[in-house]
Amino acid sequence: MSNIRLLLADDHAVVRAGIRNALNELDHIHVVGEVGDGPGVLAALDALHPDCLLIDVAMPNFEPISAIRQIKAQYPAMKILVISAHDDDVYVQGLLGAGVDGYHLKDQPLSDLKLAVQRVLTGEKWVSSRLVSKLLSLSESPGAASSLLTMRQRDILLMLQQGSDNQTIARKMGLSVKTVENHLTRLYRQLNVQSRLEAVNYAMQHPEVLGTPGQFAAQQSTGDESTMPQDHISILLVDDNMRYRRQLRRMVGKVCPQAMIYEAENIDMATRAAQATPPNLALVDVVLGDEDGIHCTRRLKAVAPQSRIILISAYPDREFHRLGLEAGALAFLDKKDLDTATLRQVIDDTMA
């Protein structure tokens, strides 16, 4: 192997010294520069044109995903090996997706680091062994993309689809704007996107990411109600009240942990969700802000004619009941009567 020019980027001088000493044992590797922050990385790359970048991406003034994409676009032939203390599999996936050639954990022996550098330089991918099994189990599990997100992140992504700004999201979720910003940063990283628009586009292209596995929804519930075994079932909850949707989501997850639960707060969102993943069952509130569940029922039956639709309302009305049945709903339930026992019966009937 010919001489390799390597740039070392880490914000801790002691760490850089240890790595440099280890790499000095490899005759063909020459450390041509060291930097400790994001701007320093870009300047050194421009000045030195190394063959390999060995970098801890958790440096000051360095946004990992976007910066790595930019670097890879400018220097496509250069190898990039990340060295990090973070063993979060989602974090690793995001960086691998952005174009790095390897991901090495700092707590591994320096002999492994030398091997990682050599493997990456020969064109192989490198991931520290402790992460391999986590990444494999994630990629092989059903609904993996959806299970990456927490329920709070799904709620935020749903509100991004609605065009909500950070202040609106904070108010609806009872959080500070700063906390919302932190959640957005984490959400973008997990989806491997850079902006609100990209996140919304991702959700439209991968509608499964907005589905909540029932067993996760049930984890937020309390009580000892037993769950019934079910085959796979897709359930759509349509209600403009986020707090009630959360309550209903927990109840559905408790009753049917095998369900994949989708949510919408208006007719357009419900229609898009049903087009992407036709639900076995839809629970639709009669009052949807300035819209109504009767119209929503017609739209859902047009795009997903096999779906069973149950209208729900806190204000039962005979005329709504009649119009709902004419629109294609199977039943009309009072919200105060919609408990776990009733949900269990509704879902049982749907799966029969």
Please tell me the distance from the alpha carbon of residue 96 to that of residue 206, in angstroms, as a whole number: 20
User: Is residue 82 domain-shared with residue 153, that is, in the same domain?
Assistant: no
Last residue of a domain, one of 124, 139, 154: 139
**What pLDDT does 137 receive?**
52
User: Is residue 249 domain-shared with residue 135, that is, in the same domain?
Assistant: no
Looking up tokens 């950070």, which residue turns up? 166
Residues in the chain: 352
User: Is residue 44 domain-shared with residue 103, that is, in the same domain?
Assistant: yes
CATH number at residue 181: 1.10.10.10
User: Is residue 205 domain-shared with residue 223, that is, in the same domain?
Assistant: no
User: Is residue 224 domain-shared with residue 341, that is, in the same domain?
Assistant: yes
Do the Cβ atoms of 319 and 340 come closer than 8 Å? Answer: no
Between helix 64-74 and helix 38-48 the angle, nearest 10°, is: 10
Please tell me the distance from the alpha carbon of residue 65 to that of residue 42, in angstroms, as a whole number: 14
User: Is residue 75 domain-shared with residue 193, that is, in the same domain?
Assistant: no
User: Is residue 263 domain-shared with residue 205, that is, in the same domain?
Assistant: no
* DSSP structure class, residue 211: P
Q: What is the four-CA torsion angle of 186, 188, 190, 192, rounded to 10 degrees?
A: -150
User: Is residue 168 domain-shared with residue 78, that is, in the same domain?
Assistant: no
Nearest to 313 by CA among 283, 268, 349: 283
**What pLDDT does 232 receive?**
65
**What pLDDT does 219 receive?**
52
Per-residue model confidence as pLDDT tens digits over 151-179: 788 888 888 987 888 999 988 888 888 88
**What pLDDT does 48 receive?**
96
For residue 195, which phi and psi values (nearest 5 degrees)?
A: -155, 170
Between helix 196-205 and helix 151-161 the angle, nearest 10°, is: 100
User: Is residue 104 domain-shared with residue 42, that is, in the same domain?
Assistant: yes
Query: Within a 13 Å sphere around the CA of 127, how many CA atoms are in the beta-carbon half?
Result: 17
User: Is residue 97 domain-shared with residue 234, that is, in the same domain?
Assistant: no
Where would I find the H helices in the chain?
A: 13-23, 38-48, 64-74, 89-98, 110-121, 129-140, 144-147, 151-161, 166-173, 177-191, 196-205, 214-218, 242-255, 267-276, 293-303, 318-327, 340-351
Range of the domain at 21: 4-139
Please tell me the distance from the alpha carbon of residue 188 to that of residue 198, in angstroms, as a whole number: 9
CATH number at residue 16: 3.40.50.2300
What stretches in the chain show pLDDT beneath 50? 138-147, 220-231
Tally of domains in the chain: 3
User: Is residue 186 domain-shared with residue 82, that is, in the same domain?
Assistant: no
Nearest to 52 by CA among 104, 94, 111, 109: 104
Last residue of a domain, one of 209, 232, 258: 209
> Which tokens is 273 given?
């969700």
**What pLDDT does 63 receive?**
83
User: Is residue 215 domain-shared with residue 352, that is, in the same domain?
Assistant: yes
**352: how many CB neighbours lie within 10 A of its CB?**
5
Per-residue model confidence as pLDDT tens digits over 11-55: 999 899 999 999 998 989 999 999 999 999 999 999 999 999 999
Query: Within a 13 Å sphere around the CA of 285, how many CA atoms are in the beta-carbon half?
Result: 23
User: What is the reported pTM?
Assistant: 0.49
**What pLDDT does 88 receive?**
67
Sign of the torsion formed by the C-alpha atoms of 44, 37, 70 and 81? positive
Do the Cβ atoms of 229 and 349 come closer than 8 Å? Answer: no
**What pLDDT does 228 receive?**
38
> What three-state secondary structure class fits 259?
strand
